[in-house]
Every structure is written in C-alpha cells, then in structure tokens.
Structure 1
Amino acid sequence: MKPVDKKSLLFVCLGNICRSPAAEAILKYKLEDNKCLAGRIEVDSAGIGSWHEGQLPDRRMRSHGASRGYDLSSRARQIKPADFSRFDYVFAMDHQNVADLNRVARNDDDRKKIMCTADFMSRHPQYDTVPDPYYGGDADFELALDLIEDACDGIIAWLEKQL
C-alpha cells in the first residue's frame, strides 16, 4: 500500500490577526469535506511582525468569519526562518508580504516555497493581492473573506493536482 503523501502550508500576512488566520480557518473548513485532501494537508498561519503574538484574530474578522461558519481561533505568531523547513508552501497575502518573506527566507530553496495567495483566485481578476482590512470597515472585511474563499478554492484545486 502506497504511503499517504502529506503537505503543509502556511498563510502569512502582516500581523497574523486578519487575513492569514482567516485563510487558515477557511482552508481548514473547506478541506474537511474534500475526500481527496482530507487529513493530508496541515494548515497554519503567521505574521511578518510580532506585534500581536499570542492574540486571537481581530474581533471584526472573527465576527465576519463566524457569520460564514468559520472558526477563527488560532493565536497570532511571528514567522521564523525555521518555518521554511516545516512547511512545503508559504502563501503571502500581498506583494509586500512576499518581499518580507524573501528577506526571512534562508536560501533559494526557501524562496521557491513562497507564493502569492491572490495568484490562486479565479473569480476576482481585478485583484492581485488580498488587501488588508485592518484599517477599514465591514465591507473591507467582507471583501477580504470573499477573496480568501476564492483563493482557497484555487489552492485546493492546485493541491489536488499536486498530490
């Protein structure tokens, strides 16, 4: 019997309290019912900065996510260079996060793991990043969730081809 191939992925945003914990929760939720990938994907999130370490996601993101059925209960943490050894793929929420991750990466192998989450969106071609809703209102949080849901669908389709 062939061993089950498992993959791990990490979502990264600036502070790990809005976009990346939402992506973590959304992808975990979507993977629960995926017969091909269930139990084969480890998902986590982290932030570029350490400002919010140990905190729950932003209350507004938790509220908007809960209204869609997502449990945003992970605790913020800062990405570490060692995360590149632990994770197969590192998904950044915007271009600045990509640049920041390239500075955290230890070598070219680490850099090859970095991808932009928005590159997996298909229903929102006008966006090339997931904008940070932190300084915005309800509409900004809803947009971020729409974009992340779209990206997670694309990531799942991509993972199904990888495994």
Structure 2
Amino acid sequence: RGFERDEMVGFWFNAPDGTIYSDEQQYNTRAAKNGRADWEWIAPVTVPVGVWQVVAEGQNSSISRSIFFEIVPPNEMPAEAGSTSAGVEPDAGPPNTQFAFFAEGFAGRELVSYWTIRPDGTTRKKDEAVRANADGRADWFWSPPREAEYGMWQMVAQGRVSGVTHVIVFEIVPE
C-alpha cells in the first residue's frame, strides 16, 4: 500500500548474494485505487536459497516498499525467527551508529566477505572482509555513511571458501 492511485509500480528481487533479478517487461504492475500493488512470482528452481528481498517502486511517486522472504531447499522449513546464527546490535540506529555484526557457520579461519544492500535494492559492495575465528564465527563493525538513506538495510556476509551466506536485516532511522 501507499502507492498513487493507478500508478505503475516496478519491482525487482535481490538474491542473498546481492544479485539483482529484474525484467522491465514482466516485473511491472499497476496499483489499485487504494494504492495497493499486487503481483505473483514463482521462484525458478535454480535460484539460490536464503533470505531474499523484493523491492517495489512507484514510477511516479518514487515510493519504495521492501519485503523480505526466505527460499529454502525442497522439503525444508525456513529457519525459526530469532535464529542466533547471525545478528546485529543494535538492530536500528541513525547514520552515526556503529553496528556490530556476527555470523556463524563458516569454515574455521575462513575469510568472510561482507557488503550492504540499501533499502532501494542497490548494492554497496566494497572489498571488505573479516576472518572467522577457529569455530567459524565472524564478528565485525560497520558504520553507515552520513548521507545513508533511512529504511531497512541488509548486511550480506559470505564465506569465500564455504559459500555460507547470511543476510542480516537492520534499520537506519532519523536521529
């Protein structure tokens, strides 16, 4: 909800590794009179498992909405809410906040790359990495730039050898 009446709404999908799935021909819908935009997407069998994000943006209003969802292997249930295999503290803060992240399940002493995905779905990818400890846990700090847009962000952490990937959701709010 929140789009303009009868506004064209484009949407795209952000994979757990930051890859953007978009198709201007297919990934468009029209908002209803009440501003609600509906669509359906069936994930191809070949897409990676993990936490995904769909971003919808009004073409006139530039209003953006994000929805997070998880794709799991066949016959598996998604991880329970509150899983402690990855996290952030605090989970929300203004642009001057130093966020502390952790993620587990990597190979011992593995190099773990990390990057952010903005609320609009664009990736802020730099060659940043941290080394996991002997137990496969990686800990790192990250501070957003002063001009960071408000909204729900994602921190993606991926083991360079194991391929283990975590997506940690956090929010940047006004001061």
After TM superposition, the score normalised by the length of structure 1 is 0.28
1 or 2, which has the higher helix percentage? 1
After TM superposition, the score normalised by the length of structure 2 is 0.27
Larger Rg: 2
1 or 2, which has the higher strand percentage? 2
